[in-house]
């Protein structure tokens, strides 16, 4: 992943995922910030950059597969599986 791609990923997170306002969290607590990474991971560019970033972190680790809790992890896992295939080092999704 290039430095420009990393910078773009951070831009997307700042622009789309970090929300400011009045929020009531699942716990009932109030917050003036809310972080919703799905706004990035479910966009075409964001999904690709998320997949690249996580793939770079996992590539040399020797993992056999990538997975996580459904809904939140699904777009990330799918993006990593696709990017890993494109990079010629497939990491299956669970």
**What is the span of the domain harbouring residue 10?**
3-86
94 part of a folded domain: no
pLDDT tens digits, 64-74: 999 999 988 99
Averaged over 64-90, what is the pLDDT? 96
Return d(Cα 80, Cα 75) in angstroms, integer.
9
State the total domains in the chain. Answer: 1
Q: What is the pTM of this model?
A: 0.88
92 part of a folded domain: no
Averaged over 72-80, what is the pLDDT? 96
51 part of a folded domain: yes
80 part of a folded domain: yes
Among candidates 45, 43, 58, which has minimal Cα distance to 90? 58
Q: What pLDDT band is residue 56 in, cutting at 50, 70 and 90? A: very high
Position 62 scores a pLDDT of: 87
93 part of a folded domain: no
pLDDT tens digits, 37-51: 999 999 999 999 999
Paired residues of 33 in beta bridges: 20
CATH number at residue 70: 3.40.50.2020
pLDDT tens digits, 6-49: 999 999 999 999 999 999 999 999 999 999 999 999 999 999 99
């Amino acid at each position: 992943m290039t430095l420009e791609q990393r910078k773009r990923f951070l831009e997307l997170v700042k622009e789309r995922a970090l929300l400011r306002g009045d929020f009531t969290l699942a716990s009932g607590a109030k917050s003036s910030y809310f972080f919703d990474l799905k706004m990035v991971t479910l966009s075409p560019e964001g999904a690709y950059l998320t997949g690249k970033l996580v793939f770079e972190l996992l590539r040399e680790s020797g993992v056999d597969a990538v997975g996580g809790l459904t809904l939140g992890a699904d777009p990330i896992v799918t993006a990593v599986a696709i990017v890993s295939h494109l990079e010629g080092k497939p990491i299956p999704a669970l």
